[in-house]
Amino acid sequence: MRCIDRLRKMPYSLQRPLRRVYGALPPSLAYGGTFWKTYDFLRESQYWSREKLEEYQLERLGGLLHHAYDNVPYYRRIFDERGMKPGDIQSLQDLRRLPCLTKDKFRESFAALVATNSNAAGLPMAHTSGTSGKHLAIYRDCAAVQQELACVFHQWSRVGFMPGDRRVEIRGIMIRSRKRYEYDRAFRALRLSPLIEDVDTAGYYLRLIGDFRADFLHGYPSAIAQLAEFVRQYGLAVPFRLKAVLLASEVVYGWQRKIVEDVFSCRVCGLYGMAEQVTMAGECESSSHYHCLPQYGITEVDAESGEIVGTGFLNYVSPLIRYRTDDIASDIVAERDCCGREYYPVFRQVEGRVGDYIATSRGLFGPATITHYFKKLNHVRETQLIQSDLDRIVVRVVPRGGAGDGARAEELERLRRDLLENLGPHLHVEIEEVDELERTASGKFKWIVSDVSGDILEERFSVGAPAAGPSMVNRAGPGVRDLI
Ligand SMILES: [Zn+2]
């Protein structure tokens, strides 16, 4: 009964009264023993030395590897094929002797990756989302759910969030009914649909948030930035004061952070995590750099591509070891002077998934580069880039109401020329005006959807790479420590 995820699987008629009971409980009882054990441990260990954190990681890794060898057929085979035993991994560097696990491999070997000593059939599943249709689902047990929540709340505590605090969420559900919200009593969260298509909806949301009297707004950067855009464009009044905006689940672009900070006049705090639970990273009190949580798992960053590779300590039902996330960490921060935590690695931002890159004959272009050409647009409300092959990009735009067609056409033609000039003259750039942009089933938005960049990166980094995958480094300051 302590696992809130089990509750989510129940029929809604049963969920409602149970959620009411949860909501009435004080946080000390509602979140469960594993939550509090993890939360207290994170508070206690957050200022441990690098050596002590590494020692802890090695101990957790040992437990995970023994479990994987004894109970997970896929990993038993991986060890056997190499003539290795878990005891052969004596250091974090030794972990590199095991191969990386790609998403395709995970999908292919799904059943063999489930621990035989777990009662997986009765467990809830966490789903990843993606506009490319490559969805993944993974089992999670109650302990992993509670530990995950404790890690998220630990990250949010940097900006004053306490377990039990109320928050408004703009994420996760697409409610198309007139009401457009639901109240989750168990989590004390007012949940709003992330699709904000007009100024009336924006005004309605502002009133709902004000009436709910929450100190924290949590959700997709695309949706919260959209709300902020409407506030700015139409001069809407903001009838509340927030302690922080907590962004999650999508890449955070600089312009989104800026407009949200300006409009809501509060700290904006990003969190990076995933349903597969292999790594988690968040900002600290005094810096917007993403600090990976060493107590959560081991995070490696590919030296060449910057891809994040993680080994998670939480999930014992489907353990993932050296899992390739497809996410790119940009600008590893070796020297830092912020909060005193020795968390590692630390990076400036998550640049996007490999599919978030545009690949042309001139090279790979990340969102931070491309977004530059879109900054000057005044007559469109939203944009999205779709790349189906190497020499063709479709830019979808949602026109902003009130602008003259002529001015918009002129602006879009300038954008087209800018893209050609910078991404490659042989590119075919098509502009398409639409009423609404493509989102995932949960309303998540991807700005760049490229069917080709993933394959190109895959090719580039797998050719000639050693059996253990591309060279990985785990960088942390001071200095760079190579895991090879
Ligand atoms: Zn810090």
Judged against a pLDDT cut of 60, whether residue 461 lies above it is answered with no
* pLDDT attached to residue 18: 66
Centre of ligand 1 to C-alpha 326, Å, is 25
Please state which of the ranges 6-10, 125-129, 249-253 shows the lowest mean pLDDT. 6-10
Q: Where are the domains of the chain?
A: 4-353+472-482, 357-451
pLDDT tens string 264-306 = 999 999 999 988 999 999 999 999 999 999 999 999 998 878 8
Let me know if 376 is exposed, middle or buried by CB neighbors in 10 A (0-12, 13-18, 19+).
Answer: exposed
* pLDDT attached to residue 19: 63
Q: pLDDT grade, residue 456 (50/70/90)? A: low
Centre of ligand 1 to C-alpha 304, Å, is 25
* pLDDT attached to residue 169: 94
Judged against a pLDDT cut of 80, whether residue 12 lies above it is answered with no
Centre of ligand 1 to C-alpha 339, Å, is 4
Centre of ligand 1 to C-alpha 286, Å, is 6
Centre of ligand 1 to C-alpha 334, Å, is 12
The CATH number given to 357-451 is 3.30.300.30
Judged against a pLDDT cut of 80, whether residue 72 lies above it is answered with yes
What mean pLDDT value characterizes the chain? 83
The rounded distance, in Å, linking the Cα atoms of 101 and 322 is: 6
Judged against a pLDDT cut of 90, whether residue 116 lies above it is answered with yes
Q: Backbone phi, then psi, for 469, in 5-degree steps?
A: 100, -175
pLDDT tens string 409-427 = 999 999 999 898 878 888 8
Centre of ligand 1 to C-alpha 464, Å, is 37
Centre of ligand 1 to C-alpha 336, Å, is 8
pLDDT tens string 79-91 = 999 999 999 999 9
pTM assigned to the model: 0.76
Q: pLDDT grade, residue 133 (50/70/90)? A: very low
Centre of ligand 1 to C-alpha 352, Å, is 22
Centre of ligand 1 to C-alpha 125, Å, is 33
pLDDT tens string 331-362 = 888 877 899 999 999 998 887 665 677 888 77
* pLDDT attached to residue 229: 85
Centre of ligand 1 to C-alpha 483, Å, is 23
Centre of ligand 1 to C-alpha 258, Å, is 20
CATH architecture of 4-353+472-482: 3-Layer(aba) Sandwich (3.40)
Residue type, 250: E
How far lies 441's CA from each of 125, 130, 145, 194, in Å?
A: 16, 9, 22, 11
* pLDDT attached to residue 468: 30
pLDDT tens string 172-198 = 666 556 778 888 887 889 999 887 878
* pLDDT attached to residue 464: 33
Please choose, from the candidates 278, 318, 305, the residue with its C-alpha nearest in 3D space to the C-alpha of residue 107.
318
Q: Which conformational region is residue 36 in: left (phi greater than 0), alpha (psi within -120 to 50 degrees), or beta? A: alpha
Question: To which H or E segment does residue 347 belong?
Answer: strand 346-353
Centre of ligand 1 to C-alpha 313, Å, is 22
Centre of ligand 1 to C-alpha 265, Å, is 22
The rounded distance, in Å, linking the Cα atoms of 433 and 272 is: 32
Judged against a pLDDT cut of 60, whether residue 34 lies above it is answered with yes
Q: How many CA atoms lie within 13 A of 134 on its CB side?
A: 16
Centre of ligand 1 to C-alpha 335, Å, is 11
Q: Averaged over 427-441, what is the pLDDT?
A: 86
Q: pLDDT grade, residue 482 (50/70/90)? A: very low
Centre of ligand 1 to C-alpha 344, Å, is 10
pLDDT tens string 309-335 = 999 999 999 999 999 988 888 888 887
Helices (H), 357-404: 367-370
Centre of ligand 1 to C-alpha 290, Å, is 8
* pLDDT attached to residue 357: 75
Centre of ligand 1 to C-alpha 436, Å, is 39
Paired strand residues for 396: 384, 432
